[in-house]
């Protein structure tokens, strides 16, 4: 038996569910903090877990280069290596296929690229990507895909989507089924509903434990992203988790949950925490602004994180202006707590059947 997923409540298109892996039970909708290089930046594993997170995301490309998947496997796998006893989802390296375009060559077999670290030559095929993720011990493996830049000509998006479909078949064949572990396919197709439909049909035919929607939040704008989700999400199986990759801002998450998405990841809350930007229930706050220098109030009086219960805005402003590491740690903790709390609130709203009202109130407050 692989991973298990059950929907426990519905509210319109939105779903409340539970995803069971080898390492934990994950309540959905869920936001997954990004632990790119085997760590959530500026956080301890214990601190990440204290926010309520039970699954983090690791990066196949970066861990392959440093310290190496084989080394991590020898040391007991990624869970033990990073001291994270809960679930791990690893991406396939597909995003780096796009973001490192100047360093790579794409062919039917896979991607050949030069390391951004030392210029060494590497090949990433669907089979190698899956093998790396299995060496890491990932609970959820992602099939290798090509994420098409936006904007791109229709013909280029179509060709990329077809390549992703062929790579998905090879990824699925390479994946070794085992209890508590699963593999997700990735629906591509840019902003074109017909290509998204064809991609979804191919992924469903192949048969995955979950389905991701990739290739969004790369410049198309929120309205277009929601339009793509409106066309794509209803095509996906009701009994499998749905994962929107690389998204996003709080309002993006609320809108996507309303459309039936169950899982998210994004570097935004951690990256923002390191640049003095905090997400609060009263809007986004830039702690570098001078108006916070003499403010004794907490960052968010409704938040129970250490930054909000133990420190003033004035102190957080001081830390950010002084470049102190503690500022990054506290604001990252706060942002991850905010995202986790947002998910808790949406799960409760789905159970009550009030998510539409929650979404409207959230948009008005923003």
CA dist., res. 46 & res. 88, Å (int): 15
Residues tagged active-site? 91, 265
Cis preceding linkage at 248, omega within 30: yes
Secondary structure string (H, E, C) spanning the chain = CCCEEEEEEEECCEEEEEEECCCCEEEECEEECECCCCCCCCCCHHHHHHCCCCEEEECHHHHHHCCCHHHHHHCCCHHHHCCCCCEEEECCCHHHHHHCHHHEEECCCCEEEECCCCCCEEEECHHHHHHHHHHHCCCEEECCCCCCCCCCCHHHHHHHHHHHHHHHHHHHHHCCCCCCCEEEEEECCCCCHHHHHHHHHHHHHHCCCEEEECCCCCCCCHHHHHHHHHHHHHHCCCCCCEEECCECCHHHHHHHHHCCCCEEECCHHHHHHCCCEEEECCEEEECCCHHHCCCCCCCCCCCCCHHHHHCCHHHHHHHHHHCCHHHHHHHHHHHHHHHHHHHHHHHHHHHHCCHHHHHHHHHHHC
The single residue listed with the structure tokens 């916070």 is 292
Residue of 204, 215, 134 lying closest to 169 (CA atoms): 204
The single residue listed with the structure tokens 């198309």 is 220
Geometric angle at alpha carbon 247, from 173 and 170, rounded to 5° = 10
CA dist., res. 218 & res. 212, Å (int): 15
């Amino acid at each position: 038996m692989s991973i298990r997923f059950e929907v426990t409540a519905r509210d319109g298109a939105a779903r409340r569910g539970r995803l069971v892996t080898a390492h934990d039970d994950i309540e959905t909708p869920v936001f997954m903090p990004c632990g790119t290089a085997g760590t959530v930046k500026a956080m301890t594993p214990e601190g990440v877990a204290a926010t309520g997170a039970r699954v983090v995301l690791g990066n196949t490309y970066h861990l392959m280069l440093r310290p190496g998947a084989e080394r991590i496997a020898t040391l007991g796998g990624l869970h033990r290596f990073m001291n994270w006893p809960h679930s791990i989802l690893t991406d396939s390296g597909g995003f780096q296929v796009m973001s490192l375009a100047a360093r790579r060559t794409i062919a039917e077999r896979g991607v050949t690229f030069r390391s951004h670290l030392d210029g060494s030559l590497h090949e990433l095929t669907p089979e190698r990507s899956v093998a790396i993720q299995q060496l890491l011990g990932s609970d959820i493996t992602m099939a290798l895909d090509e994420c098409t830049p936006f904007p791109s000509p229709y013909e280029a998006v179509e060709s990329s989507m077809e390549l992703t479909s062929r790579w998905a078949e090879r990824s699925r064949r390479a994946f070794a089924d085992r209890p508590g572990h699963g593999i997700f396919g990735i629906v591509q197709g840019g902003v074109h509903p017909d290509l998204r439909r064809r991609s979804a049909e191919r992924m469903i035919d192949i048969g995955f434990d979950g389905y991701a929607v990739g290739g969004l939040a790369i410049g198309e704008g929120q309205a277009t992203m929601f339009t793509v989700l409106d066309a794509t999400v209803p095509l996906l199986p009701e009994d499998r988790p749905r994962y929107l990759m690389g998204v996003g801002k709080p309002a993006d998450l609320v809108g996507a949950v309303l459309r039936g998405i169950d899982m998210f990841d994004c570097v935004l809350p951690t990256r923002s925490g390191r640049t003095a930007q905090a997400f609060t229930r009263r809007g986004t706050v830039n702690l570098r602004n001078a108006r916070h220098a003499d403010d004794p109030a907490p960052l968010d009086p409704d938040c129970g994180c250490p930054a909000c219960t133990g420190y003033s805005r004035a102190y957080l402003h001081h830390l950010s202006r002084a470049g102190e590491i503690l500022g990054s740690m506290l604001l990252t903790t706060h942002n991850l707590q905010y995202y986790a709390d947002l998910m808790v609130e949406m799960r409760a709203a789905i159970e009550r059947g009030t998510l539409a009202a929650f979404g409207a109130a959230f948009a008005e407050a923003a």
